[in-house]
Amino acid sequence: MRRNKQLSNADVQTRRFGLSMISPTIVVLLIMTAYPLLFTLFYSFTDYNLLRNLRQPAEFIALKNYTDLLTDPYFQQSIWNTVKFTILAVIFEMLIGFAVALFVNSLRRGQKAMRTLLLLPYLLPTVTVALSWRMMLSPNYGIVNQVLQTLGLPVFNWFSDIKTAFGMLVLIDVWQSAPFVFLLLYAALQSVPQSQYEAARIDGASRIKILFYVTIPNIKNSLALCALLRTIDSFRLFDKVNLLTGGGPANSTSTITQYLYNYGISSLDFGFGSAGAIVMTILVLILSSVYIKRAIQ
């Protein structure tokens, strides 16, 4: 008994020590994550607006912000734009990233050089990427239009034309983020044991069959993780839209975050913006729940 008691005392001490060690992290997390989230949740039920008299406290208006938001056709279009953008960007990024990873992994020489070159777009800051593409696609002095003109092909005002603006945003995002997919899947491909490929070759599998029976099953977790990370990231798309189109033309490129920026942050209507942020958080949580559930298991 005495021995058990001594052991349990030691256990308590160990636990205390552990708690004291992780407490700084918990404090930082509470300040940086929990507090802003609760703050946002609270203000989403109020009419907190900095354009009004600041001495007048924000009033509780229950779900009015949410009903306004969900019935606003601009918000509905933003949701649709975001979903459309996410689906297209993730599909193209995954396909291109995976194809390039397979190609580089199959190279006998120059893998390192290819890896570095292919990663460059991902290493650039988004602002640089956006501005570079804006210059290249500029209707006045952009190289793309000049080339098209020389070839006698029609030219476009790429970011102001409703037919092309959305497609250009997808293209730029794919250009910048496919290397991320490439890197993650390339690393996963490197970990597939060579002997499994060799066994499959001897067993009589063609290249396509090896891809479906050996490669993909071996890296399926990385594929799932990669698709999830890209989905969440694409869902939160803001910087490229804000820098290149501002949500236009005719709201055709407005994403949820751009909508929140326009109607919540720019107009200082923080109550309404907070409701939008909460809706977005819920959508992202639903998207990532599959992965979180798997991680917990």
Q: Does 195 bind another protein (CB under 8 A)?
A: yes
The closest alpha carbon to 72, from 273, 282, 234, belongs to 273
Q: Does 196 bind another protein (CB under 8 A)?
A: yes
Please answer whether residues 69 and 282 qualify as being in contact, where contact means their C-beta atoms are separated by less than 8 angstroms.
no
- As given in the structure block, the two tokens for residue 226 are 């990669």
**Of 79-118, which residues contact another protein (CB under 8 A)?**
108-109
Give me the least distance between CB of 187 and another protein, in Å please.
18
Q: Does 198 bind another protein (CB under 8 A)?
A: yes
Give me the least distance between CB of 113 and another protein, in Å please.
14
Sole binder of another protein in the list 73, 152, 154, 204 (CB under 8 A): 204
Q: Can you tell me the distance from the alpha carbon of 185 to that of 183, in angstroms, rounded to the nearest whole number?
A: 6
Question: 3-state DSSP call for residue 52?
Answer: coil
With CB under 8 A as the rule, give the number of residues binding another protein. 19
Q: Which is nearer to another protein, 18 or 217 (CB)?
A: 217
Q: x/- site string to another protein, residues 205 to 244, per CB under 8 A?
A: x---x---xx--xx-x------------------------
The closest alpha carbon to 289, from 222, 220, 228, belongs to 228
Give me the least distance between CB of 218 and another protein, in Å please.
7
**H-type alpha helices, the chain:** 2-29, 35-43, 64-71, 73-106, 111-123, 126-136, 143-150, 165-190, 194-203, 207-210, 216-235, 239-244, 256-260, 270-296
Sole binder of another protein in the list 19, 203, 290, 294 (CB under 8 A): 203
**Positions that interact with another protein (CB under 8 A):** 108-109, 193, 195-196, 198-205, 209, 213-214, 217-218, 220
